[in-house]
Amino acid sequence: MGSSPTVTRTYLKQAPRPLNEADPEVGRTVAELLAALEAGGEAEARRMAAEFDGWTGPVEVDEATVAAATRDLPTTVVDDVAFAHRHIRDFARAQRDSMSEFAVELSPGLVAGQRLVPVEVAGCYVPAGRFAHVASALMSVTTAVEAGVDHVVVASPARPDRGGVHPAILHAAHLAGAGRILGLGGVQGVGALAYGLFTGLPADVIVGPGNSLVAEAKRRLFGRVGIDVVAGPTESMVVADGTADADTVAVDLVGQAEHGPDSPVWLVTTSAELGAAVLARIDAVAGSLPDPARASAVAAWRDHGEVVVVDDRDEAAAVCDEYAPEHLQVMAADLDWWRSRLRNYGSLFLGERTTVTFGDKTAGPNHILPTGRAARYSGGLNVHRFVKQLTWQVMTDEAAAAHAAVSGRISRLEGMEGHARSADLRAGPGAST
């Protein structure tokens, strides 16, 4: 095995990373809320909705409300959602088509294979706190539908100031193919998906971004249900050489920093001049945003922004792989080299024209991605998350006899006599019938 290259780094700005660990107090709070929700059922979910979101109206959104939301939206919003949905749907469909069932004869008389079976119920959480995450509704619901899931249930906060669930989220979820929509946010929304409240459809898999409470609820429910990722603060890295434009780099870093005050943004570059130019511009770029985006971006850059200068592109790629960022944007020459070399990231954006914003909203590949270096071992949300790869095997008498002796010996080597005797029954011709 080769060793990792030694990387020489100069930090023009260095900052600590947010700890992607559950706050013990958050953990205790979420555990108590989930326990109360499981014990109290729908009545407790309604009580939580009233306490945390001020919502006392209907929890399940009816068809008339969804139709009214679509009717009242500006035409440009409807058209924009359709544009994004088409790209997300077509990419998810291509992912599904890339998967295949198969059967192979591994040895004479032994045939084994793989089936692709979608889960029955998917729960999609769509946040709507500071931002109405219309794109997240499209990303999660569309992917589940294209995977072939039978029932897709959405949970998103209902609030009095919006008259319920945000109308653009209602429209996007319905367009993407959601069968049921619940006006529940936070822990009560995630818990309702897991326990099947209001629908009688307990989720097999729950996906979607959210705040620390939502992330902790998914973490605690994992095992009872499948999940996509336990997401921490949004992260973005730009890797650039001397061909990059400093203003573009600064704008793109700030664009991701506005996600929240704990969202780290990083620049790694082979050009000290570029690094210094970005550092000189970025405060003004962040400060020019309107609030509350300005406050988030300024704090994120101040507390978690970095500029790292390295000697060459191999060292730059090594830094990228070490950080394993959620979003990785390349502004450098020879994009094919970077695409083939880089290996740890949630999603890759190649070239100055390909901003992370496009991936967040409209490009097609999913924007629900791993954070906290989880990209070392996991990709983002995709159709595979909703599809089980189930294996099967069948043997003739002759194949069973051939395997019986070997399986029996391995079983006895392991001290598993019951297994061995089961194999022994298949040792002779016709013994399996």
Residue 398 gets the label, from left (phi > 0), alpha (psi -120 to 50) or beta, of alpha
Closest-CA residue to 325 (of 309, 310, 305): 305
> Is the separation of the CB atoms in 134 and 78 below 8 Å?
no
Identify the active-site residue in 326, 367, 403, 414: 326
| Contact residues for 120 (Cβ-Cβ < 8 A; gap 6+) | 149, 150, 151, 204
pLDDT by position in tens, the chain (length 433): 444 556 589 999 999 877 666 678 888 999 999 999 999 999 999 999 999 999 999 999 999 999 999 999 999 999 999 999 999 999 999 999 999 999 999 999 999 999 999 999 999 999 987 667 899 999 999 999 999 999 999 999 999 998 999 999 999 999 999 999 999 999 999 999 999 999 999 999 999 988 889 999 999 999 999 998 887 889 999 999 999 999 999 999 999 999 989 999 999 999 999 999 999 999 999 999 999 999 999 999 999 999 999 999 999 999 999 999 999 999 999 999 999 999 999 999 999 999 999 999 999 998 989 998 889 998 999 999 999 999 999 999 999 999 999 999 999 999 999 999 999 999 976 554 3
**Taking Cα atoms as reference points, which of 257, 307, 303 lies closest to residue 280?**
307
Q: Where along the chain do its domains lie?
A: 24-227, 233-366, 395-433
Please indicate whether residue 326 is annotated as part of the active site: yes
Distance between CA atoms of residues 24 and 36, nearest Å: 18
d(CA 237, CA 332): 13
Q: What is the dihedral of CA 241, 377, 189, 259, to 10 degrees?
A: -10
This prediction's pTM: 0.90
Active site residue 327: yes
Q: 233-366: what CATH class?
A: alpha beta
**Structure-token match 């909203």, residue found:** 361
What CATH architecture is 24-227?
3-Layer(aba) Sandwich (3.40)
* Catalytic annotation, pick one of 171, 259, 327, 367: 327
For residue 112, the SS3 value is strand
